[in-house]
A and B are shown apart, each in its own frame.
Chain A
Amino acid sequence: MTTDAAGTIIRRGMVITGIALAALACVYGLALFASPTERSQGLAQKILYIHPSAAWASLMAFGIVGITSLGYLLMRDRRLDTFSEASAEVGLAFGVAMLTTGPMWGRPVWGAWWQWEPRLTLTLLLVLLFVGYQALRTAIDDPEERARFSAVVGIMALVLVPFVHLSVYMFRTIHPQPVFLKPSAPSMPWEMTRTLLFSMAAYTLLYVGFVTMRYGIGKRREEQSA
């Protein structure tokens, strides 16, 4: 009898994902029923309880790809490549959520679905870079070559991550500045800050659940192809 290590990882990921999705349902409840409505934007402001969290999870996922990619090039540990692949795909899922919900806030508040301004443009470039990363992985058959080439792209993308976060300070932009991850105190009332903090925690947990499941799937594929 063989132990199914990948299956155990996948099951753990499913449990974490289940808890995180329940937390996401709580975020919806908090946002809709326990947070005040902002006067000038109306209910569209409540999109900001899900959009920045998706952006956070996406940037975190892409940042981790860069770090694990660097680790792979230094240590040549296949597990780091499998994790990079998992984190990149999960980052894309959050990236799609971010790029879908953002314009739905922009349309009523800015009067436009999209603006070619630095934050949005850099974010779109980062997401497209990871679409290319996935295409690259699909195109190369040799596992060692695929891991090496993908790691280089992952590290290049890591360089872009801080620019995306700091773009609202570095350039003239209409995108709102960060509520957290800045030198000064959060720029929202506590009832709103609480919901956004809870949302960011839920998305972080969702990232952990997703990436654990996806890593387990990657491990299982490796076991089956070995």
Chain B
Amino acid sequence: MNETPDTSAYMVAAYIANAVILIGYALSLWRRSVRERSPRQGE
């Protein structure tokens, strides 16, 4: 009977990369929304 291969490193890497990309994009949207607003704050 074949043993289940140890491929956990690939899963961990994929889950971390996925979270970094999606949370990173969410943060970039948040930063842009704050930056776009700032010139109007003095009005």
A101–B4 CB distance below 8 A: no
A43–B11 CB distance below 8 A: yes
Give Cα distance in the complex from A224 to B37, angstroms.
9
Tell me whether chain B's interface is mostly helix, strand or loop, or mixed. helix
Task: Say how far A34's CB is from chain B's closest CB, in angstroms.
Answer: 15
A24–B13 CB distance below 8 A: no
Return the contact of B15 from the options A21, A50, A216, A224 (Cβ within 8 A).
Answer: A50
Given the interface pairs A50-B14, A105-B10, the reply to whether A93 lies near B4 with Cβ below 8 Å is: no
**List of B residues within 8 angstroms of A50 by Cβ:** 14-15, 18
**List of A residues within 8 angstroms of B7 by Cβ:** 41-45, 108-109
Residues 1 to 43 of chain B near chain A (Cβ within 8 Å): 2, 4-8, 10-11, 13-15, 17-19, 21-23, 25-26, 29-30, 32-33, 36-37, 39-40
**List of A residues within 8 angstroms of B10 by Cβ:** 43-44, 47, 104-105, 107-108
**List of A residues within 8 angstroms of B13 by Cβ:** 104
- Measured CB to CB, the nearest residue on chain B to A32 is B15
Task: Say how far B41's CB is from chain A's closest CB, in angstroms.
Answer: 11
How many A-B Cβ pairs are below 8 Å? 100
A101–B23 CB distance below 8 A: no
**List of A residues within 8 angstroms of B8 by Cβ:** 42-44
**List of B residues within 8 angstroms of A214 by Cβ:** 29
Task: Say how far B8's CB is from chain A's closest CB, in angstroms.
Answer: 4
B5–A54 CB distance below 8 A: no
Given A100-B18, A220-B37, list of 19 further CB < 8 A pairs?
A24-B19, A28-B15, A37-B4, A42-B4, A42-B8, A43-B6, A43-B8, A44-B8, A44-B10, A44-B14, A50-B14, A54-B18, A93-B25, A100-B17, A104-B14, A209-B26, A210-B29, A214-B29, A216-B33
- Interface-centre pick from B6, B10, B21, B30 (highest chain A CB count, 10 A): B10
Residues 184 to 214 of chain A near chain B (Cβ within 8 Å): 206, 209-210, 213-214
Return the contact of A206 from the options B4, B22, B40 (Cβ within 8 A).
Answer: B22
